[in-house]
């Protein structure tokens, strides 16, 4: 099978995006409670940006809309993780 650069981007993005669930599960198991580690939000953001670029390339409006909305959520959650300024 021969993959072009766009397909490699899409597959890599999906792996990054999907890895967030595995990491979240492993951290939660280790702590014995449901936890959302910072990696979850960073992987969400990076994976979503890459998937958005890929979805724009393939011109899929459903995929574009879904990834665009997610960017807002992931960015906001990372902002909420920052310590409050005095």
9-34 tens-digit pLDDT? 999 999 999 999 999 999 999 999 99
Residue appearing with tokens 């993959």? 3
CA distances from 29 to 32, 38, 61, 77 (A): 5, 16, 37, 22
Query: What range does the domain containing 15 cover?
Result: 7-81
Examine residue 86 and state whether it is found in any structural domain, yes or no. Answer: no
- Residue 36 pLDDT exceeds 90: yes
Predicted TM-score (pTM) of this structure? 0.84
Number of domains in the chain: 1
Helix residue ranges, H only, the chain: 5-31, 38-58, 61-81
Does 11 fall in a domain?
yes
The whole-number pLDDT of residue 84 equals 72
């Amino acid at each position: 099978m021969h993959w072009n650069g766009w397909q490699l981007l899409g597959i890599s993005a999906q792996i990054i995006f999907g890895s967030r669930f595995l990491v979240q599960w492993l951290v939660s198991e280790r702590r014995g409670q449901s936890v959302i580690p910072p990696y979850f939000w960073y992987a969400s953001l990076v994976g979503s940006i890459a998937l958005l670029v890929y979805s724009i390339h393939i011109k899929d409006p459903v995929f574009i809309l879904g990834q665009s909305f997610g960017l807002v959520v992931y960015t906001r959650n990372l902002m909420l993780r920052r310590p409050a300024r005095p």
